[in-house]
Amino acid sequence: MDRLGFATSGELAVFWDHVTPAEAKTWWAAALADGRTIEVDIEGVDGKLRRSFAWPDLMDQKVPAPVPRLRILSPFDPALRDRKRAERLFGFHYRIEIFVPAPKRQYGYYVFPVMEGDRMIGRIDMKRDDCVLVVRAFWPEKGVRMGKGRVAALQKELARAAQFGGCGDLSFAGEWLQKPSRSL
């Protein structure tokens, strides 16, 4: 709960992967009964409320504003670890396609999610080739406009990623900026 902030019993079971959802539900229901947790309704991106557990002081905590910087996330980032939760909270359907046969891939072998502030804005296919970070394609999410400022922020983040990966150069495929991805 400290890591997630709020969660359903199923999300807690997935996070720890040590207990079944039924065991988690039993434990959290007992914690609720003796006042160690509270129930809160969390609104997903679709507007639906989902009953979740939280620590009693959740509503008293001051939540910092999201960092507005554009970031390329690892496919294993905590925000995406539970794919169903990420889809509910961010409206972002994400799957790693490394085990999908090449002709059936929608995006690419190892596509990275891209987040700006508290919004998932797209996904990027990039690969290290010797000492060059090659950007094959970027797909903005539906409704995301890639104006000059956002493209510049993405290029700045790519330069940071290249440096982090030990690449001395960055290159872009001819038509790397794709049309917005379709909703799934």
103-115: pLDDT as tens digits: 999 998 889 999 9
What value does the mean pLDDT take over residues 69-82? 89
- pLDDT tens digits, residue range 24-62? 888 888 989 999 999 999 999 899 999 999 999 988 888
Secondary structure of 27-80 as H, E, C letters: HHHHHHHCCCCEEEEEECCCCCEEEEEECCCHHHCCCCCCCCCEEECCCCCCCC
User: 135 pairs with which residues across the strands?
Assistant: 126, 172
Pairing verdict, β 132-140 and 119-129: antiparallel
pLDDT (0 to 100) of residue 181? 56
Residue 183, pLDDT > 70, answer no
pLDDT (0 to 100) of residue 124? 95
Q: Are 53 and 92 in contact (CB under 8 A)?
A: no
- pLDDT tens digits, residue range 134-176? 999 999 999 999 999 999 999 999 999 999 999 999 999 888 9
Structure tokens at 103: 């002709």
Residue 182, pLDDT > 60, answer no
Q: Are 174 and 136 in contact (CB under 8 A)?
A: no
Q: What are phi and psi of 140, to 5 degrees?
A: -70, 150
